[in-house]
Amino acid sequence: MIKHTTFFTTLLLASSMAFAANTFETADTNRDSMVSAAEYQRYVFDYDVYTKRDTNNDSLLNEEELGISVFDADDFSSWDADGDTYLTYDELNISLFDYYDEDDSGYLDNDEWNKASDDGWFDM
């Protein structure tokens, strides 16, 4: 019985986190209706957005691991600041945030966030 309850709680927790992981509200921790770079980076870290894509666990993302069809090879190479054909955590975080911050406000608004989500960035 205890085991069953624990399992059920784990399931509930897992499903609520999976749901939360796709919401703008979760990322917007200070509730100002904008996601700052710091909030974005915390979100990426808290929900293992980067590490889940890093399937061979070398702490780098290659183009295949990035695996988002909306980006092309030019996007990838322009984000790869040191040109080693891998994106580090920092390279990706900075580039992806800038990519979706279409009005260069330094924040992602709800529409910009939804575009990133629609592109599959937060779907694991």
Are 121 and 48 spatial neighbours (Cβ–Cβ below 8 Å)?
A: no
Are 87 and 121 spatial neighbours (Cβ–Cβ below 8 Å)?
A: no
Nearer to Ca ion, 39 or 101 (CB): 39
Nearer to Ca ion, 32 or 98 (CB): 32
101: contact with Ca ion by CB under 5 A = no
Residue choice 80, 100, 112, 116 for contact with Ca ion (CB under 5 A): 80
Amino acid at 90: D
Are 39 and 28 spatial neighbours (Cβ–Cβ below 8 Å)?
A: yes
| Residue 59 backbone class (left: φ over 0; alpha: ψ -120 to 50; beta: rest) | left
Nearer to Ca ion, 80 or 112 (CB): 80
Residue choice 25, 48, 58, 90 for contact with Ca ion (CB under 5 A): 58
Q: Which residues bind Ca ion (CB under 5 A)?
A: 28, 30, 32, 34, 39, 54, 56, 58, 60, 65, 80, 82, 84, 86
